[in-house]
Chains A and B, each alone.
Chain A
């Protein structure tokens, strides 16, 4: 099999874009393939997400519309009136078994949009009109994880520094904090790290950094003065889940600079039912997807009882170390 990013599809329209050239420089051995529109490749029927995920390709493209999407009901809005997200990149270098992207996208290849200025303009326009915006930076990827060849997080931090009415949430599992460490902390930016028990990281969140290295960079970010959120979400009912999550809380209590946190957001597994159906088709070897979920409207989740049990366990485990007001339930 080819290694990751052995081939790079490049839309004709952005072939000469300086950012395209910068990205290509990072992959000198990749084979470039000209393409009219990214969807000609990305949206093809009957692609095999799992096979592509073994050898993902890059697709460099221009986003022509939809620079802001209203936040979904599955995601916490942290009580903000204008909660939106954008999609500067599609798909992720990690491979979490519960990731909804594998149910949402027909392809596992990574699309990178290079026309960031259009995203900035659209964001500015929105803020002019609505006076404020809480923006989750690129939900459909882990943007900070791409920073070494797609330094969008840096660019957004620079942009946010010029737009005081913009609040950003940058959610990640990566330990690429060093890439943005030189920036002075912006009080309107929250760096949000999703963490899980190490046993889950190893068996379910394939390719993501280990817990202790995540904690290390989180501590660094807190020490540098950033607002930091911890997301323990989704909490999964794997075998011995109680022990794993209790021990996660204990590890955080011992090793994390808890006082510096904005909050800890917790939530059980939930999913759009159509995404889950497709995920079960492509990922028949993941037991967490075959749980006997409850369906309500178009959402599947653990049963009320199971969800309560999860949230109860997690919050009481955390209460030993964190005040109750700092624990936010992202979804019940």
Chain B
């Protein structure tokens, strides 16, 4: 499963086409495209929009799905560093929110064909290093010192994503689109830059996370146990302890049938102490 967040449609277009994703109908505000287990979400610009889009998307998925989901934000970014070429792609290992001064650290865990990494600073307005631009916020060189890439979504995306998705599933990647000259990129330019990088990234995005897998005890053993105990009045603590014992048994005896008490014994359980004894004996049989 994977989800990919973009600020604007021009960034998303090549991906939507390649995936052959279709818009899903839902009650929310944001556009979500889907093909099987893969989703593309367009948030609009700004960190608040990015955060809201993550939140809206997270609410349409159950938690077990979210835990298995790779969640990416890709997009264009301006660069203050002239050594970074236009069209270069970078994974982000640190995000600074310029307004709050908070730092976030996306973990770099999976290797990628794209090996370059850098830091990202998220501003609330588009930034330029040229004076005399009325639609951009002008920042003098000393304030831009040390800043590599600049966007308007990264911190909002990451902060929201880390509330709903496991940290290790979240990645951000940015394409250098300009050097803060104070002009907006044309949609066609963004689209073609993104299309070029997508060729290398698509398989990485759609491949499952290497660390997610099924827990055979939760999936196979525990449902059997739950069916067996459903008419017994076990407390939550007892269920919890039973699950631990089941796990112990399964780990020690991977190929053996799980021992259950005789079904007929259940009808003799008249009192709480009967139940307790029955329960303890069962657990003992699991700790062999």
Contact B211 A2 (CB under 8 A): no
Residue of A nearest to B105 (CB): A41
**Pairwise interchain contact B287-A291, C-beta atoms closer than 8 A:** yes
Cβ contact within 8 Å between A48 and B251: no
In the assembly, what is the distance between CA of A47 and CA of B110, in Å? 15
Cα–Cα, bound, A31→B162 (Å): 23
Chain A residues numbered 40-59 whose CB sits less than 8 Å from any CB in chain B: 40-41, 44-48, 50-52, 54-55, 57
Counting CB contacts under 8 A, is A7 at the interface? yes
Instruction: List chain A residues, Cβ under 8 A from B202.
Output: none
Is A201 positioned at the interface, with any CB of B under 8 Å from its CB? no
The stretch among A168-176, A205-213, A280-288 that forms the contact with chain B is A280-288
Report A46-84 CB contacts with B as 1/0, cut-off 8 Å: 111011101101000000000000000000000000000
B110 contact set on A, CB distance < 8 A:
1-2
B108/A51 in contact, CB under 8 A: no
**Chain B binding surface, main DSSP class:** mixed
B211: chain A residues within 8 A (beta carbon)? 48, 50-51, 54
How many A residues are at the interface, by size bracket? 20 to 34
Known contacts A33-B93, A36-B103, A47-B168; is A287 also within 8 Å of B251 by CB? yes
Q: Is A9 among interface residues, defined by CB-CB distance under 8 A? A: yes
Most central of B217, B244, B245 by chain A CB within 10 Å:
B244
Smallest CB–CB gap between B285 and chain A, Å? 12
Q: Does B244 contact A52, Cβ atoms closer than 8 Å?
A: no
How far apart sit A305 and B61, CA to CA, in the bound complex (Å)?
Answer: 49
With most chain A CB atoms within 10 A of its CB, the pick from B109, B110, B210, B248 is B109
Question: Can you name 11 A-B pairs with beta carbons within 8 Å?
Answer: A2-B108, A7-B93, A33-B119, A35-B94, A35-B105, A47-B167, A47-B168, A51-B109, A284-B247, A285-B251, A287-B248
A46-B162, A54-B109 known; 13 new pairs, CB 8 Å cut-off, are A1-B110, A7-B93, A9-B105, A33-B119, A35-B105, A40-B105, A44-B105, A45-B162, A48-B168, A52-B168, A284-B217, A291-B287, A292-B283
Q: Which are the 7 A-B pairs with shortest beta-carbon distances?
A: A287-B251, A290-B248, A51-B168, A51-B211, A48-B168, A41-B105, A290-B247
Binding site for A on B (CB under 8 A): 93-94, 103, 105, 107-111, 117, 119, 162, 166-168, 210-211, 215, 217, 244-245, 247-248, 251-252, 283, 287
